[in-house]
């Protein structure tokens, strides 16, 4: 039976589970990291935590992480997740990220997910803070108005690509093969070589056909 990744939705991550997932993708949080969490699921729910629940600490970590690791995000998967979000503030955040990371043309579809005036990051006091401190240069002129200094940007708060590749199997495969469903499937097989094609497809949110092809390639490589 064919597998439609469009029907696969991320399971909600909140509280300690979200913190563990974020630590698992390389954010400096005082929790035990989850092993090999799904990268795009963690990014989406970090943005929800920041934009819906006003958790500026998580949002700051997310923005710093994106500044370092955006090249290895599966853009197709991320766009699918954000497009399904009804919350204007969340969609505005990702539209602003695409405008900020303008050199990454894979994110261009995110820009179209927010129409209308820019959204204020702070529910109260954005105008005052911008007049006093100016705007965060990363988001100036985007769909999100962010006062300078509100989102701390310290690279030490996030693992480097080399460090994260050593700790996160899927990220490592993306560095080697490119950020794709195929790379995620290969990583799943490295962790559990006996997965069926259907199980691989479900775990990586990809298609059955791609999973079957990856499974065949993995078996051929293992037989050498």
Residue ending a domain, choose from 104, 132, 157: 157
Give the relative orientation of helices 15-24 and 56-69 as an angle to the nearest 10 degrees: 20
pLDDT band for 1, please (50, 70, 90 cuts): very low
Rounded mean pLDDT, 13-18: 96
Q: Which residues of 11-35 are buried (b: 16+ CB within 10 A; e: fewer)?
A: eebeeeebbbbbbbbbbebeeebbe
Measured CA to CA, the distance from residue 196 to residue 103 in angstroms comes to 38
In this predicted model, what pLDDT tens digit does every residue of 63-108 receive, in sequence order? 999 999 999 999 999 999 999 999 999 999 999 999 999 999 999 9
Co-location of 122 and 172 in the same domain: no
- Mean of pLDDT over the chain: 94
User: Residue 48 corresponds to which tokens in the numbers above?
Assistant: 């929800």
Distance (Å) of CA 183 to CA 13, 86, 178, 200, 216: 23, 29, 7, 11, 14
What's the pLDDT score for residue 8?
55
pLDDT band for 11, please (50, 70, 90 cuts): confident
Burial label, 2 (beta-carbon count in 10 A; 0-12, 13-18, 19+): exposed
The residue segments making up the domain with residue 178 are 161-222
CB contact set of 115 (below 8 Å; sequence gap of 6+): none
Longest dimension (CA), the chain: 65
pTM for the whole thing? 0.93
Rounded mean pLDDT, 144-148: 98
Co-location of 98 and 209 in the same domain: no
Co-location of 120 and 45 in the same domain: yes
The percentage of residues in the chain with a pLDDT greater than 70, rounded to a whole number, is 96
Measured CA to CA, the distance from residue 138 to residue 118 in angstroms comes to 14
Co-location of 115 and 150 in the same domain: yes
Co-location of 16 and 108 in the same domain: yes
What's the pLDDT score for residue 9?
64
In this predicted model, what pLDDT tens digit does every residue of 19-36 receive, in sequence order? 999 999 999 999 999 999
Co-location of 59 and 117 in the same domain: yes
Domain count, the chain: 2
Beta strand segments in 68-113, E: none
Co-location of 135 and 170 in the same domain: no
pLDDT at 6 over 70: no
202 with 209: CB under 8 angstroms? no
The percentage of residues in the chain with a pLDDT greater than 90, rounded to a whole number, is 92
> Do the domain assignments include residue 171?
yes
98 with 110: CB under 8 angstroms? yes
What's the pLDDT score for residue 222?
85
Co-location of 218 and 139 in the same domain: no
Rounded mean pLDDT, 153-159: 97
Distance (Å) of CA 48 to CA 138, 177, 187, 211, 219: 19, 29, 27, 30, 39
């Amino acid at each position: 039976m064919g597998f439609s990744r469009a029907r696969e939705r991320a399971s909600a991550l909140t509280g300690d589970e979200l913190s563990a997932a974020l630590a698992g993708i390389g954010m400096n949080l005082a929790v035990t990291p989850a092993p090999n969490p799904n990268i795009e699921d963690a990014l989406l729910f970090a943005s929800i935590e920041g934009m819906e629940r006003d958790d500026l600490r998580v949002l700051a970590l997310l923005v710093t992480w994106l500044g370092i690791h955006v090249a290895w995000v599966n853009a197709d998967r991320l766009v699918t997740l954000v497009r399904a979000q009804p919350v204007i503030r969340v969609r505005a955040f990702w539209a602003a990220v695409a405008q900020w990371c303008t050199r990454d043309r894979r994110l261009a579809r995110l820009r179209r997910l927010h129409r209308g005036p820019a959204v204020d990051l702070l529910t109260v006091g954005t105008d005052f803070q911008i007049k006093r401190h100016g705007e965060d240069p990363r988001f100036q002129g985007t769909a999100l108005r962010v006062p300078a200094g509100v989102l701390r940007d310290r690279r030490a708060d996030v693992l480097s690509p080399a460090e994260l590749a050593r700790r996160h199997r899927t990220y490592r495969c993306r560095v080697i093969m490119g950020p794709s469903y195929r790379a995620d499937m290969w990583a799943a097989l490295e962790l559990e070589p006996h997965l069926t094609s259907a199980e691989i497809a479900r775990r990586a949110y990809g298609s059955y056909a791609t999973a079957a092809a990856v499974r065949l390639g993995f078996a051929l490589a293992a037989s050498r």
